[in-house]
């Protein structure tokens, strides 16, 4: 793992007000599909990931002309637009009006946002400078759903790379170290 540590970052992006938007599969799949697109067309390399109800943790690097910041900016912009559009049409969502109000309020207080803002600013990149730090963040990512008592075993959580590390195939292509 030492050969690539200078390129790897632990990143976190969080929904404004910690709104639990990612409790429904359709919203989760917007995130997963967007990450897959970034992998295919933007040089994103995912080493580990977990999507929780209101935040996303990943260990990533980027190849080519784009930076981690470029990819995260584009990812957040696209997913924000797609999730809000889906939410606006989702008349079955009991929390629809409340969530749209929260996202609208967040946008009203941000000069860069227009009508709605899904993600908090930033993505909190941490350079993974040692193998030990990498393993610490990897364990943290994979144990997030266990700590939240969503699953008993990390590999049982569908929206994570723990399945890949357990020898099975998950939802995204993962660079298992």
Q: What is the pLDDT of residues 49-79, one digit of tens each?
A: 999 999 999 999 999 889 999 999 999 999 9
Q: What is the pTM of this model?
A: 0.93
Structure confidence at residue 95 (pLDDT): 95
Domain ranges of the chain: 2-165
Q: DSSP secondary-structure letter at 175?
A: -
68: tokens are 């981690």
Identify the band that residue 3 occupies on the pLDDT scale cut at 50, 70 and 90.
very low
Q: Does pLDDT of 4 surpass 80? A: no
Q: Which residue has the tokens 């632990």?
A: 10
Min mean pLDDT across 102-111, 139-148, 153-162 is at 102-111
CATH code for residues 2-165: 3.30.70.1290
**Measured between alpha carbons, how far is 53 from 88 in angstroms, rounded to an integer?**
19
**pLDDT attached to residue 136:** 97
Place of tokens 């929206």: 159
């Amino acid at each position: 793992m030492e050969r690539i540590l200078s390129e790897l970052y632990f990143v976190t992006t969080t929904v404004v007000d910690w709104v639990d938007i990612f409790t429904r599969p359709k919203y989760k799949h917007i995130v997963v599909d967007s990450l897959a697109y970034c992998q295919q067309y933007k040089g994103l390399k995912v080493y580990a990931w977990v999507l929780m109800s209101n935040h996303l943790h990943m260990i990533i690097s980027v190849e080519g002309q784009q930076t981690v910041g470029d990819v995260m900016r584009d990812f957040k912009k696209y997913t924000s637009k797609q999730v809000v559009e889906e939410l606006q049409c989702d008349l079955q969502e009991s929390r629809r009006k409340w969530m749209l109000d929260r996202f609208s309020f967040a946008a009203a207080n941000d000069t860069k946002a227009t009508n709605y803002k899904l993600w908090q600013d930033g993505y909190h990149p941490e350079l993974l400078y040692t193998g030990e730090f990498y393993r610490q963040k990897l364990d943290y990512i994979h144990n997030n759903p266990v700590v939240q008592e969503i699953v008993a075993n990390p590999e049982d959580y569908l929206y994570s790379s723990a399945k890949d590390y357990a020898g099975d195939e998950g939802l995204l292509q993962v660079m298992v170290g």
